[in-house]
Chains A and B, each alone.
Chain A
Amino acid sequence: MTNVLFDDILINFGFGTKAEKKKILEENRDKKVYMDLTCYDPAEFYQEYPHLLGSFAALFCDEAKKTEIHFKERNEAVLEKLKDLGFAPVETTITSTGFVFPRTIVQIINEAYFALEEEVASKEDIDRAMKFGVNYPKGPFEWSQGKELYVVTLLNELYSKTQDLRYRPSKLLNP
């Protein structure tokens, strides 16, 4: 994880376990904190930490670095700082676990892994099918490359929140 500190504001980037994220919040109660919570439920964190004033989901960013951001307390300086760091923040009012894009994409990725697990097709053919059959900008395996840990963490968090078996990860993601 990386922290960027300016004035009385701390922006926390990167992946961390829930305990690691909470530790950062515990240690910075004197600051206004904005945190990457791609894999977690922002509402749970807001309730527990009043000084957490916004959250964003940057772990599945591609080269365009478009990032969903939710403000409990809108802050222009935070938006400007994110832009300075190359991000393109897109404001949202939705505080679903995993936000919108990460939550949707991990489910698509998980299904692609299940299809691979059942030898329905190769990785290459699954990616090709989704790009040229339904115009997805990337194939599920292209999206998940190097991000498997985030995929599994978010799926497990969704399962923990909902107890719905639809979020059970494929064995290939969770060996």
Chain B
Amino acid sequence: MNLQKVVVIGAGTMGSGIAQWFAQQMCAVELVDNSSEQMEKALKSIHSSWDSLVQKNKISSSDAEKMKTHLSLKSLDSISTDADLVIEAIIENLEVKKELFKKLDSHFEPHTIIASNTSSFPIELMAEAVTETRKPKFLGLHFFNPATIMKLVEVIKGKDSDLALCQNLYQWFDKQGKKPAMCKDSPGFIVNRVARNFYGEPLRIVEDDNETAMREVDSILKEVGGFKMGPFELMDLIGIDVNYSVTCSVWEAYGKEPRFAPHKLQKQMVDEKRFGRKSKRGFYKYD
């Protein structure tokens, strides 16, 4: 497999990180967003990141210049039609995504692989928007934030995705220094499913809004378990509302399976608008 031309749709945090990573692999990358302001902001941030890497002697200035020439901003109407891979990284709204995939399917040549960076929707549902001939080339590629640093890419094989294609992508990412993981199209894929209890179980250990107990649990899981962050400080960083929403989504998707049930404290925090660091009050205070 040789991915030379990549289109990334969505210039938010994930999309711009994915575009930056592909440009660093010397792929020709077209970054697309509805908002030109958002695209300019993303480009400025990516260029600034490369300049900083040059200053730290992590990359050469000639490589940085090449990366800059490899990354361009486009509107949806002006993207090339011959990309090898298109990655969608727009808002998590199924209908909006399906509408986009329908357009992308008719816009791109038959060889183009179309992938979604969704963390919550089944690939099979999104694949309904594309033609039968595209379905084997439609899959999930779930990156983790920040995409230039986190090595995991979940390669999600949908019901109709071509297995050999998924395996080739897996090998390509592996060769480029990522750590791919192949997984079935199921709610939460691997990480958002298996990690649920890193939050759910500590919530059940402390049970109530008890900051002292939370600090102790965070401290033990870091010191004894070797985790980089404790669950409560991590939920505060991610956003308690975001974490609660993912928990509810996985729980619903598994037919309210008790293993994924949200904890009463999560709802209480959201109801009280204690979202974590961003609202200066979550499990801890950030005054």
Contacts and interface: CB of A to CB of B under 8 A. Distances in A.
A64 B224 CA distance: 9
Interface centre among A67, A133, A134 (most CB of B within 10 A): A133
Interface size class for chain B? 35 or more
A132 B151 contact: yes
B223 A66 contact: yes
Interface stretch (B104-112, B120-128, B131-139, B187-195): B187-195
B217 A134 contact: no
Contacts of A119: 184
A115 B227 CA distance: 22
A120 B216 contact: no
Nearest to B200: A107
A129 B197 contact: no
Interface of B: 144, 150-152, 154, 179-184, 186, 189-191, 193-198, 200-202, 205, 213, 216-217, 220-221, 223-228, 231, 258-259, 261
A140 interface: yes
Interface string A125-167: 1101111111111101000000000000000000000001110
Contact of B179 (A93, A121, A132, A140): A132
A96 B183 contact: no
B217 A90 contact: no
Given A129-B183, A133-B150, A133-B154, A104 B225 contact: yes
Contacts of B195: 108, 130, 134
Contacts of B220: 68, 90, 92, 94, 99-101
Interface size class for chain A? 35 or more
Given A107-B201, A135-B228, A100 B221 contact: yes
A166 B151 CA distance: 31
B194 A94 contact: no
A115 B144 CA distance: 20
Given A66-B223, A92-B216, A129 B198 contact: no
A159 B66 CA distance: 58
Interface centre among A105, A112, A168 (most CB of B within 10 A): A105
A3 interface: no
